Structure 1
């Protein structure tokens, strides 16, 4: 059961950070290099909410999940509706606050694995404090100088 929190300082201001997190246009897989374009689908999109399927193609297996997103100008929250490796009901929340010229992202992640692959990836996330997620954020937002 991967459950962890982290904070990460990035160089982009809060509005830009939140903007990329909730960009559900066809550009989303370009913005987020860990996403695979053919797995991305928007089911519903409204002001402050979205229902999407997104995922990553790993060697030999597509890891996807359907997530309901809700957001404000400082918080993005997702609830897992369905997925290949994690149980429905898992959550993540990103709080974004100003930090110098950039932002601080505070993340809380809570999932329940339903497959062996989910337990393996979950263990990596848990033991590294979300290092793969942090790495993707650094790719998108950069780090402060």
Structure 2
């Protein structure tokens, strides 16, 4: 738990959506407002791959993950290497495709919780069908509010 899939339509073209997903510059926490700048670190960056630590500071606790990313111009895949609330080996995969004047994002999310906080947040993700993730995708600059 949690394991779910969803589709989300945004106004931006696919290349801009992928560009935001794989922008591992110092601007990443600005692009993704749910990320906390002090938790963001790039460990390795290559063509079509990155290994980063990123996360969100919640009241009283930092929720972070170390993720190995790989991508093409239509798919971004992440494998969890380490983290505060989910076990290593969990994955997410985002597919982007043109849809009307914008993009349809399809996400497949599969994680295994560890500890009470992981079970609680994982439960929220599962029951809501990924609502916090959808909200963060909508908050990216240029996406619908």
TM-score where L is the length of structure 2 = 0.98
Partners of 1:114 and 1:135 in 2: how far apart? 24
Structure 2 match to 1:120 = 120
For residue 57 of structure 1, report the CA deviation from its aligned partner.
0.2
Structure 2 match to 1:142 = 143
For residue 142 of structure 1, report the CA deviation from its aligned partner.
1.9
Partners of 1:142 and 1:114 in 2: how far apart? 32
How is 1:76-115 mapped onto 2 (pairs within 5 angstroms)? 76-115=76-115
> 1:72-108 CA deviation, whole Å, 9 max, x = no partner?
0000000000001100000000000000110000000
Structure 1 match to 2:20 = 20
Find the residue that maps to 2:35 and give its secondary structure. coil
Find the residue that maps to 2:122 and give its secondary structure. helix
How is 1:61-72 mapped onto 2 (pairs within 5 angstroms)? 61-72=61-72
For residue 55 of structure 1, report the CA deviation from its aligned partner.
0.3
Find the residue that maps to 1:30 and give its secondary structure. helix
Partners of 2:25 and 2:6 in 1: how far apart? 27
Partners of 1:40 and 1:80 in 2: how far apart? 15
Number of equivalent positions? 144
* Structure 1 vs Structure 2 CA RMSD: 1.0
For residue 143 of structure 1, report the CA deviation from its aligned partner.
2.8
Partners of 1:28 and 1:91 in 2: how far apart? 20
Partners of 2:92 and 2:52 in 1: how far apart? 15
